Amino acid sequence: MAHHEFRMPVSEAQVRALRVNDTVTLNGTLFGIRDATQIHLFDRGRTTRFDLRGHAVIHTAPNVRPVPPSAAHPAGYAPLCVGTTTSDRMERFTRPLLQRHGVRLIIGKGGLREDSLAAFGELGGAYLAIIGGTAALETTWVEAIEDVDLDDLNPESLWKFRVRGFGPLLVGMDSHGASLFAQVRHDAQERRAAALASLGVKT
Amino acid sequence: MKIDPAQIESVARELYVRALKRLPPDVKRGIDALAARETDAGAQRMLGTMIANIRVAEETDNLLCQDTGLPIYNVTIGRGVEVDGVALKQAIRRGCERATREHPFRSSVVHPLTRVNEHSSCGRGVPVIGIDFSEADEGLVIEMIPKGSGSENNSFLRMAIPAEGVDAVKRFVVDCVLEAGGKTCPPTIVGVGIGGTADLCMHLAKVAATRALGTRCDDPEGAKLEAELSRAVNVLGVGPQGLGGDATSFAVHVETAATHITMNPVAVNMQCHSARRARATLRAGGVDYAD
């Protein structure tokens, strides 16, 4: 259960060194993406001017305040509340994110499924679990919104955040085939019979 | 007592902001209680982070969660209250939109087919406005619930049949909690609707999921089931965020309604750990925001 301090972007070797139950803290660039962002990138042929290679993406659509662009707010947005959404809806986008855009880390809540786990193994990636619903705390780790692309999809734009001490995040899925979420799901399924028996229900 | 729509508009605005920033006291106590009896070290840390987040939100006057939700306003009109119903609904809508634009915060509301966001937290049929009446002569109560999508996306209805009995209800609740896993941001409040028509059944589940912790179903049969199911779902070990632990749910809440002789419907709607709610009571003397 090692702790890793990452300055983004990172190499494949750094990501392959991660194991479930390790913790990671990010510094530097972090990209924000969500359902609409990825529907437009992967289903509607849109492109981004951002280079995501070696980077981390977080499943988010932040609360922002439009402000005049300045050194503190280069993109014209002040971050108000930046949190994390449920990853499961975006399962089918993991592979193209890694394959076509070279993304190395996905940050989200609730975990991803089998194909994402396979993609992490084949292409060198990992899933970092954040605690959903703790956005006030998470926002204190965000220094600025440096840039934004696909902003017609606001709030589901492609956001470029500058973060400091973003974490610790828990490695929930690694490139060695381990997933804490799959393990817990499996164990919970095993306890189903006990739960039903306590209710006097036959399985 | 006559209610001025302008006052309703300002209360509707204020309630949305309050709900997003401060958790009701029963939910705060609920998280503390789960943390106190959690036996898994990882789950213990996660619950600690959730408690820290509540403090940071208060200290920085920030939103608890980025999800501003689908806005729900439940209005309860007491005896002796005079209000223009159409004006009341319009005022709530205006207050909801003003909160979104003036604070500002993210509008999470889009048209279901075009996916266009008006950036007002309003749209066709949204905010959801429920209106009910109360025997108590206590004025007009407005409760605001920003319903997050992580939990709302895990809503389930099963039109079971009488031959399946209560066992079908119990089995369904356990399986829904398993199916939801970490997607609902557990620990959750599991709302269960039993009986009614299909739509009433789901509505009951929502009422149950958004009821204050510590309250009981006022149907004794429902209350009995609440206690049994609350124990059973916490045997599963889904834990906070679906990463394992004792704290899968704060509680299972049940609401019941009579149903048809041929029917045995059960619905599940969940509320995440950030179980946000805010309430205002409008009386002749002014507005009281105490929960």
Q: Residue A195 corresponds to which tokens in the numbers above?
A: 């739960």
Domains of chain A: 3-178 (3.20.130.10)
For A135, the closest of B66, B108, B238 (CB atoms) is: B66
Cα separation, B21 vs B58, in Å, equals 7
For B106, the closest of A155, A183, A202 (CB atoms) is: A155
| C-beta atoms of B153 and A195 within 8 A | no
Residue B271 has a pLDDT of: 98
pTM of the model: 0.95
Q: Residue B257 corresponds to which tokens in the numbers above?
A: 């309604």
What are the boundaries of each domain within chain B? 5-20+64-147+276-289, 150-271
Q: Per residue in A52-98, pLDDT tens?
A: 999 999 999 999 999 999 999 999 999 999 999 999 999 999 999 99
Question: Nearest chain B Cα to A130, which residue?
Answer: B241
Chain A contact for B183, CB < 8 A? yes
Residue with the two structure tokens 């981390």:
A56
Residue A164 has a pLDDT of: 98
Percent of chain B with pLDDT over 90: 96
- State the best of B54, B65, B151 to mutate against chain A, taking most chain A CBs within 10 Å: B65
Long-range contacts of A44-48 (CB under 8 A, 24+ apart): A46/A150, A48/A149, A48/A150, A48/A158
Q: Is the ipTM of this complex over 0.90?
A: yes
Q: Is the dihedral of CA B279, B13, B253, B197 positive or negative?
A: positive
Percent of chain A with pLDDT over 70: 100
Those residues of chain B that have pLDDT short of 50 are none
| C-beta atoms of A85 and B60 within 8 A | no
| C-beta atoms of B49 and A134 within 8 A | yes
Residue A203 has a pLDDT of: 78
Quickly list DSSP for B2-17. B--HHHHHHHHHHHHH
Average pLDDT over residues A21-34: 98
Cα separation, A154 vs A36, in Å, equals 9
Average pLDDT over residues A3-29: 98
